[in-house]
Amino acid sequence: MLSSEDISFFCVVARSRSLAQAARKMNVTAPAVTQRLRALETRVGVRLLDRSLNGITLTDEGELVLAEGQTIIDAVENLTDQLSDRTNTVRGHLQIVAPYGFGRRHIAPIVDAFSREYHEATVTLHLSDTPTRMVNDNWDIIVHIGELNSPGRLMTTLAPNRRFLVASRDYLKGKPPLRHPHDLADHRCLALRENDEDVTLWRFATAGEEQATIRIAPAMSTNDGEILRDWTLAGLGLAVRSEWDVAAHLASGALVRVLPQWNLPETNIVAFLNTRHNRSKRTSKMLEMLRKGLKPTPWLQAE
Amino acid sequence: MLSSEDISFFCVVARSRSLAQAARKMNVTAPAVTQRLRALETRVGVRLLDRSLNGITLTDEGELVLAEGQTIIDAVENLTDQLSDRTNTVRGHLQIVAPYGFGRRHIAPIVDAFSREYHEATVTLHLSDTPTRMVNDNWDIIVHIGELNSPGRLMTTLAPNRRFLVASRDYLKGKPPLRHPHDLADHRCLALRENDEDVTLWRFATAGEEQATIRIAPAMSTNDGEILRDWTLAGLGLAVRSEWDVAAHLASGALVRVLPQWNLPETNIVAFLNTRHNRSKRTSKMLEMLRKGLKPTPWLQAE
DNA sequence: GAGAGCATTAATTCTGGCCTTATCAATCCA
DNA sequence: TGGATTGATAAGGCCAGAATTAATGCTCTC
């Protein structure tokens, strides 16, 4: 009879591209993986994966074990979690995915605090440039800026997030005045091009319901928010940045808001929850800490 | 994280009436159970069952682990079975339930043969006086004489089985002749009273579609087929027995068929299959051997 | 052809889970 | 009251699984 340890061992190996990689994942040496896998195979009497020097491929039986085994592991994890929850202790492993810049600056400290608060839990913070495209299910929470309806994913808002049109003082000097979004046509606009979205269409609206949609011609564009911000700081043009990103610079006066009465659509900070796992207490606690940690907008808390 | 061995350990304990009984089931000493259970409880951080000197009772969490755990164990078993089946090997544990007399005489040898044929498989033959009332799911095949429609159980016929009206030569000497079922009114009838069935209504039919239903007044009755047969052998009266039971005695002349042209309803040998487990190869093979082993009716094979 | 990376085999070590024995306390029953 | 059963605890031993080290062959790349 197989044991759940055998199964989870195999699942890790099966999801690796080589035995050596699997060994690194599990912090053991390569022979350990070879031996254990071979022992497993002789025990069940059938080859589970074909080894070759350029990657491993699962046999039919391997696919079976991976698929069935994963549901078994999930069931065991759920049971363990349910027990932990009953004791009001926070345990187990939590995997968070977040965008690079935002994650490093705002999520990492919260993960730090979480880890200090709940010693028995372990956390992985995975920073990704495409956080919404996690293909495997090795995640519990994905933090994302901007609402997004992905089918099959549960979304919850963590914090509001406004976006501002900003520029450096240097840039604005001697440039034509900006009184209406239409005036942007005479300016250098810097665009953040990511997720294949239509990023050259900027939508403005005033409190008085007046609207204006401007198709900009980006003078420069990048897919890295920090670079974009740096360009803006360097006075290369106007950019739309979320308040999280530029709060400190607005406070220090390095950047100024442009067209402050014209609002851009909000892109709230949201979290996607993996529906495959039952919600565990550690997930709830982490969401709680995220909401709490993100609550005071940086615009207000900036010194 | 729990392991499947922890879970199956706990499931065994949870289904026992005391830790000591659990220890006996698992062929270990009592302290082993005590401390392993304690270790498990401290690991999950919650008490799973309350011990007392007269029995153990599950806590809420214990119930949870038992219920969820059982499905996990089942899933692991299914996976293991599927792998075994792919290798065309017969492995694992098979649990057969059969009625006492029939099981001892006809099923046990087949189980013996099965065990010789498939060394890697283990078999338990559980003889029960109420085989159809297995309340727990610790069985794979229930052998039963007489068709029976139990909802949720899969039934398959193993062998045909006729029933004969028999008596000993001694008994028949000097008794009124039997030419028609009605004549039974003048005879001592022996009834097998089991399963709360209506056993005093004997239905006869000839090949020519002639029918006769007789309500007998049993002179003696019992719920044990062997006792009934012994009574009949001892010349205490007439009884209805299945051909399996009396084939040897008919062949030796100790018993004779009475009213041979009047047939009694057939009560075939059937097998119920547990639908909770996926059908494994060992189950298929066992059914195969059962059909093969029961094929030549004892009436014909009797020397 | 050197070197890096990967898989495998063999031999050895280790360790932690699990078991046993021994002992004691509590309860039930004859 | 003594015996039987059950459960808890302490102390010590054992062993199978799993790891490590060392060494070899293979393939691909530079």
Distance CA B263, CA B248 (A): 20
A80 touches chain B (CB under 8 A): yes
Distance CA B218, CA B200 (A): 7
pLDDT in tens, A246-303: 888 898 989 999 998 888 887 888 888 887 777 788 898 999 999 998 875 555 544 3
B3 beta carbon < 7 A from strand D? no
Q: What are phi and psi of A42, to 5 degrees?
A: -65, -30
Q: Where are the alpha helices (DSSP H) in chain A?
A: 4-14, 19-25, 30-44, 60-86, 100-102, 108-117, 169-172, 225-233, 243-252, 281-294, 298-301
Which nucleotide is nearest, taking the CA of residue A53 and each C1'? C6
Tokens 């085989």 belong to residue: B131
Distance CA B190, CA B219 (A): 6
Distance CA A94, CA A98 (A): 13
- Which domains can be identified in chain B, with CATH numbers? 4-84 (1.10.10.10), 90-161+268-301 (3.40.190.10), 163-257 (3.40.190.290)
The stretch A57-69 carries a mean pLDDT of 88
What residue of B is the nearest CA neighbor of A8? B3
Residue type, B141: I
Tokens 């304990």 belong to residue: B13
Distance CA A113, CA B47 (A): 30
Q: What are phi and psi of B257, to 5 degrees?
A: -75, 140
Q: Which residue positions in chain B have pLDDT lower than 70?
A: 53, 129-136, 147-152, 194-198, 296-303
Q: What is the mean pLDDT of chain A?
A: 83
Residue type, A113: A
Tokens 């119920």 belong to residue: B272
Nearest to A269 by CA among A115, A122, A110: A110
Quick check: B220 and B234 in contact, CB under 8 A?
no
- Alpha carbon separation from B53 to B18, B20, B23, B97, B295 (Å, rounded): 8, 10, 15, 32, 51
A7 touches chain B (CB under 8 A): yes
Q: Residue A242 CA to chain centroid, in angstroms?
A: 16
Instruction: Name the residue among A1, A78, A92 with its Cβ closest to that of B80.
Output: A1
Instruction: Name the residue among A2, A46, A76 with its Cβ closest to that of B1.
Output: A76
Quick check: B273 and B156 in contact, CB under 8 A?
yes
What residue of B is the nearest CA neighbor of A81? B1
Helices (H) and strands (E) in chain B, counts: 11, 14
Pairs of CB atoms within 8 A across A/B: 98
Nucleotides of D under 7 A from a protein CB: 5-11, 18-23, 26-28
Report pLDDT for A245: 81
Whether residue A79 and residue B3 make contact (CB cut-off 8 A), yes or no, is no
Report pLDDT for B286: 92
Distance CA B2, CA A74 (A): 11
| B262: its two tokens | 């009047």
Residue type, A89: T
Report pLDDT for A303: 36
Whether residue A65 and residue B79 make contact (CB cut-off 8 A), yes or no, is yes
Distance CA B25, CA B41 (A): 20
**pLDDT band of A168, cuts 50, 70, 90:** very high
What is the least distance, in Å, from the CA of A97 to any CA of chain B? 23
A53 beta carbon < 7 A from strand C? yes
User: Is 70 exceeded by the pLDDT of residue A160?
Assistant: yes
CA/C1' separation B53–C27 (Å)? 7
CA/C1' separation A84–C16 (Å)? 24
User: Is 80 exceeded by the pLDDT of residue A107?
Assistant: yes
Burial state string for B183-206 with b = 16 or more CB within 10 A and e = fewer than 16: ebeebbbbbbebeeeebeebebee
A65 touches chain B (CB under 8 A): yes
- Alpha carbon separation from B207 to A44, A53, B179, B262 (Å, rounded): 55, 75, 15, 8
Range scoring the smallest mean pLDDT among A8-12, A130-134, B217-221: A130-134
Distance CA B269, CA B271 (A): 7
Whether residue A80 and residue B2 make contact (CB cut-off 8 A), yes or no, is yes
Report pLDDT for B301: 45
Report pLDDT for A302: 40
Instruction: Please list every residue in chain A whose beta carbon sits closer than 8 Å to the beta carbon of residue B40.
Output: none
Quick check: A37 and A19 in contact, CB under 8 A?
yes
